[in-house]
Amino acid sequence: MFQELAPHDPHDKCGHHYAICLDLKNQHFEVLDSMRSEADADLTTHAEYFINNLKETWNCHYENSKVQIRHFPIEYMATTKQGNRHDCGFHTLEYLAKWEGRRVPVVTAAMVVELRKIYT
């Protein structure tokens, strides 16, 4: 997910990346954010908006499926928080590459340095 952090400021187009995972086996959504937690209203509002739209879309396209997700709750996963305001993309890439539903990948500053060499 990408969320503008200052949507009303035409000069600040920086944003923030975080991951939302659909865990069909355990029947819930998982939100992984390297900067914020469930206590952050901007995060919960943005994640819930996206997830509710996903649930509606699922219902439209998979109405007759035996798997229905409309009742799945949202779980905000505890993650290692980044030490700055610009490494969220690297954290999100690691979450998407390594998240298997049990242990949240730990992303360190040293890992981000190595990821920068690969991706930039």
- pLDDT above 80 (res 14): no
For Cα atoms 4, 50, 47, give the angle at the middle one, nearest 5 degrees.
65
Q: What is residue 99's predicted lDDT score, i.e. its pLDDT?
A: 85
Mean confidence (pLDDT) of the chain: 88
Indicate if the pLDDT at residue 27 is higher than 70. yes
CATH topology assigned to domain 2-119: Adenoviral Proteinase; Chain (3.40.395)
Q: Output the pLDDT for position 24.
A: 93
Residue 13 CB partners (closer than 8 Å, separation 6+): 4
pLDDT exceeding 90 applies to what percent of the chain? Answer: 56
